[in-house]
Structure 1
């Protein structure tokens, strides 16, 4: 259950970050673009966390 939750949160953060970065670039707002990039990185970290949980299963 933890793996799926982490992967779902990761997908949401990656999507929201991608939108923020695109809007930031389109509106010439570097702060928003950077915030979007950071949110995408957060999503990537959550994805890795979910993968580790999936690989270890009940061992953790």
Structure 2
């Protein structure tokens, strides 16, 4: 998967995780809140992976 795809999927997972957390909090569902938290972190990791791929590509392109 390319860096752009990683970043887009990461943003989507982060947004969905935020929504799940909000719904879980509003409905007093700790399990849904936890699931949302985990999904948000997954999204952050995906975005970081995409940024890392970009950085590596820049280093390779300079070589």
Query: Smaller-chain TM-score range?
Result: over 0.9
Q: Structure 1 runs of 4+ off > 6 angstroms?
A: none
Structure 1 length as normaliser, TM-score? 0.93
Q: Per-residue CA shift, 1:5-52, capped at 9, x if unaligned? A: 000000000000000000000000000000000000000100110000
Give the alignment of 1:20-35 within 5 angstroms.
Answer: 20-35=20-35
The higher radius of gyration belongs to 2
CA distance in 2, matches of 1:43, 1:18: 10
Q: How many residues align?
A: 59
After superposition, the CA RMSD in angstroms is: 1.4
Structure 2 length as normaliser, TM-score? 0.88
CA distance in 2, matches of 1:34, 1:22: 11
Give the alignment of 1:6-45 within 5 angstroms.
Answer: 6-45=6-45
